[in-house]
């Protein structure tokens, strides 16, 4: 169903006049020549750090998991907070990290279909349980923090938080090495696409309505949310934000994915334009990708809850 079939109050078309065929024809952008070197260098530096994770039982049970509060160290001296859920039935057989959207996370979710997994819910720097002095938790300010320096841009730190979250999980439960997966939606989906190509410890990836795909399109397509904040920043500053954003394009990173990847992409989305979502999907080698089609993202519509339950079942099966 083309996105324009939905009734809405936006002053633009969140379907962008594109049907599935046109979205699947979008060419992903080409990265700068030093794109891979930029990220491999950052990964190597992050791997030189010991996250020194600490856990504390919360006394809470979610589904078939016991909830533990978690803290671990990341780059720049940042301390990351979150939760580690451990199976009640016995030792974990695998590990899953679950990212969050740009609203942050106040608590873990019940991990549907992951009864045998240790599940780590990190809060990326500046959000939720990971406050950082000087970094606003508000998406409109968070997304432009440090944007004038590609080495200090906050998204790079969030990617490092994910890498060191993997290190923290393996420090606490080394037996799940070789059986790790990541799942993230919206902001967490974009961070996952940026992080996973360089971290061979992650074997499966599920990203839902992922952001940060094809910044060249995102900067010219009307939308609400984080990209609108970046456009507003650009209007008031002389620095060309694309000098930094080309290194943080999830579609460029996705060209380097070599693991099975499930992408849940929407035909209609006012916050994360579908052309950017599909640019990420299209960039993944065809033999490694699977598409789960959503009628809409970041938008309520009839049948949404049922479709999201189908996605939860699909993701749990895919990450097994």
CATH number of the domain that 21 lies in? 3.40.50.1820
Task: In whole angstroms, give the CA distance from residue 99 to residue 209.
Answer: 13
72 vs 263: CA distance, rounded Å: 29
SS3 content of the chain, % helix, strand, coil (to 5): 35, 20, 45
d(CA 233, CA 242): 12
Kind and range of the H or E run holding 154: helix 154-172
The whole-angstrom separation of Cα 193 and Cα 283 is: 11
Q: Are strands 79-87 and 54-62 parallel, antiparallel or unpaired?
A: unpaired
CB neighbourhood size of 253 (10 A)? 29
38 φ, ψ to 5°? -55, -45
Full residue range of the structural domain in which residue 252 is found = 3-318
pLDDT at 320: 81
- Rounded to whole angstroms, the Cα distance separating 5 from 94 reads 41
For residue 58, what is the enclosing H or E element?
Answer: strand 54-62
Q: Which residues contact 53 (CB under 8 A, 6 or more apart)?
A: 70, 71, 72, 168, 169, 171, 172
| Rounded alpha-carbon distances, angstroms, from residue 31 to 3, 38, 86, 137 | 29, 11, 39, 29
List Cα–Cα distances, 147 to 100, 132, 248, 269, in angstroms.
21, 17, 10, 25
CA angle 143/149/154 to nearest 5° reads 35
Write down the pLDDT at residue 244: 98
Kindly state the tokens that stand for 265.
Answer: 């992409």
Beta-sheet strand order (sheet of 204-208): 54-62, 65-73, 79-87, 117-122, 94-98, 180-185, 204-208, 261-266, 289-294
Q: Give the model's pLDDT for residue 2.
A: 42
Per the DSSP assignment, residues forming a β-bridge with 121 are 83
Instruction: Provide CB contacts within 8 A for 23, sequence distance 6+.
Output: 265, 267, 274, 275, 278
| CA–CA separation, 240 and 254 (whole Å) | 24
Hey, what are 112's tokens?
């549907």
pLDDT computed for residue 225 by the predictor = 87
CB 231 within 8 A of CB 298: no
Q: pTM for the full model?
A: 0.97
Residue 283's pLDDT is 98
Task: Collect the ranges in the chain with pLDDT lower than 70.
Answer: 1-5
Residue 218 phi/psi, 5° resolution? -60, -35
Q: How far apart are CA 52 and CA 49, in angstroms?
A: 9
The total of structural domains in the chain comes to: 1
Closest to 243 (Cα-Cα) out of 138, 142, 153: 153
């Amino acid at each position: 169903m083309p996105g324009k079939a939905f009734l809405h109050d936006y002053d633009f078309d969140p379907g962008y006049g594109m049907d599935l065929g046109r979205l699947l024809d979008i060419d992903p952008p080409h990265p700068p020549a030093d794109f891979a070197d930029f990220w491999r260098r950052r990964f190597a530096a992050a791997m030189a750090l010991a996250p020194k994770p600490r856990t504390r039982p919360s006394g809470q049970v979610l589904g078939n998991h016991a909830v533990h509060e978690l803290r671990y160290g990341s780059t720049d001296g940042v301390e990351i907070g979150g939760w580690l859920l451990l199976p009640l039935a016995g030792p974990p057989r695998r590990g899953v990290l679950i990212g969050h959207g740009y609203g942050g996370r106040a608590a873990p979710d019940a991990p549907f279909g992951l009864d045998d997994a240790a599940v780590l819910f990190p809060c990326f720097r500046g959000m939720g349980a990971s406050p950082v002095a000087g970094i606003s938790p508000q998406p409109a300010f968070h997304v432009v923090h440090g944007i004038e320096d590609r080495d200090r841009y906050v998204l790079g730190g969030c990617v490092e938080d994910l890498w060191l979250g993997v290190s923290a999980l393996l420090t606490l439960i080394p037996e799940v090495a070789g059986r790790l997966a990541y799942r993230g939606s919206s902001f967490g989906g974009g961070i996952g696409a940026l992080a996973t190509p360089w971290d061979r410890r992650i074997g499966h990836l599920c990203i839902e309505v992922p952001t940060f795909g094809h910044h060249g399109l995102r900067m010219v397509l009307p939308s609400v949310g984080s990209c609108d904040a970046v456009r507003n920043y650009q209007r008031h500053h002389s620095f060309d934000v694309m000098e930094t954003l080309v290194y943080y394009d999830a579609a460029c990173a996705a060209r380097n994915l070599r693991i099975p990847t499930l992408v849940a992409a929407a035909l209609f989305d006012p916050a994360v334009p579908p052309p950017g979502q599909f640019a990420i999907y299209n960039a993944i080698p065809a033999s490694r990708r699977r598409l789960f089609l959503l009628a809409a993202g970041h938008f309520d519509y009839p049948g949404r809850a049922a479709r999201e339950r189908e996605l939860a079942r699909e993701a749990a099966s895919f990450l097994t």
